[in-house]
Structure 1
């Protein structure tokens, strides 16, 4: 990808995802105290491929799970035999928490930091006694874009890659770095 293409992608991200890109930590808090990531965000290249669409945080069974931000409970129940809570926030952002035995109900408004349930042991692939899988996405269905939820806490920074000298196509001080066939 060219430097201009990368700049366009970053600009698009900054435009579409302002709270995520700037780590608006005033709007969101960690769902558990002192979260330690034991499995990171690893989205698939295509939406139908396998990947890890959230982060796994170490927890203890029965630990309180808190709403990361203000919103409304979108779902509180079981999915494929696992207890799940999801919350819709502003800007069509949805956060998910599993395995969590809910203490909230669908449609209930929650504030940032409100206890929404407790961690249940048995998260598949968790190397600890218990893990909380925390996910974030914008939109739903085919339009869903999965996001690294740690960015909600300002823990992920957007950085531009430096342009390598071989990629520089400028004249002046670097000799004639233009590819053959490019006029002066």
Structure 2
């Protein structure tokens, strides 16, 4: 009986040590997580990252891009596919009647104007990004520079889902991966604080 008591006691000691080790790891993980949050918050304060209460003024924060339809409303949001070849909504649809003026969301260069699969498309190259609009037409030649907030074309021509009611705006990388255009409509400001 004494031998069994010793084995049971040894098992309890081992179990207690394992529990203490697990609690210690949990405390350590919690401490690391809390430290990481503090460092991240401190870094954000040090850098002056602000995304909420931005002031739209010289030197203030503003979105990286503007909506291509002045005063427009988004009626269908981005729903990107998991893989580039799968179905999805690769941009946003903005309310716009036939003939509505389109403004450049950002500085760039007209990189395409014509038909793609029967759709009227205008594309603007902006750094590593290509901004696409359909249905859209422009009188500008490929290679023409466009400037943020300035007219570059009109909502016109054929589309597979926007005829006469909206314009589809997409943003894609050089690898044909589309990203949500609304991402660049949110104000952000990053400044160094001494």
Q: TM-score, normalised by structure 2?
A: 0.61
Distance 1:129 1:43 in 2: 24
Residues 119, 157 of structure 2: 8 Å contact kept: no
SS at match of 1:151: helix
Distance 1:123 1:93 in 2: 22
Question: For residues 121 and 83 of structure 1, do their structure 2 counterparts lie closer, same or farther at Cα, with a shift above 3 Å needed?
Answer: closer
In the alignment, structure 1 residue 138 sits paired with structure 2 residue 173: yes
Q: CA RMSD in A?
A: 2.7
Residues 72, 88 of structure 1: 8 Å contact kept: yes
Distance 1:37 1:65 in 2: 14
In the alignment, structure 1 residue 62 sits paired with structure 2 residue 62: no
Q: Which of 110, 125, 128 matches 1:73?
A: 110
Alignment correspondent of 2:186: 154
Q: Which of 58, 71, 79 matches 1:34?
A: 71
Residues 63, 186 of structure 2: 8 Å contact kept: no
1:99-114 to structure 2, matched below 5 A, reads 99-114=135-150
SS at match of 2:167: strand
Q: TM-score, normalised by structure 1?
A: 0.64
Structure 1 residue 125 displacement after superposition: 3.1
Residues 123, 131 of structure 1: 8 Å contact kept: no
Name whichever structure is richer in helix by fraction.
2
Structure 1 residue 94 displacement after superposition: 1.1
Structure 1 residue 121 displacement after superposition: 6.2
Distance 2:152 2:132 in 1: 11
Distance 1:103 1:112 in 2: 17
1:129-169 alpha-carbon deviations (Å, 9 max, x no partner): 42100000121xxx2221111111118xxxxxxxxxxxxxx
Alignment correspondent of 1:118: 154
Which segments of 5 or more consecutive residues in structure 1 lack a partner in the other structure? 5-21, 156-184
Equivalenced residues, count: 132
Which segments of 5 or more consecutive residues in structure 2 lack a partner in the other structure? 1-32, 34-50, 53-60, 188-194
Higher-Rg structure is 2
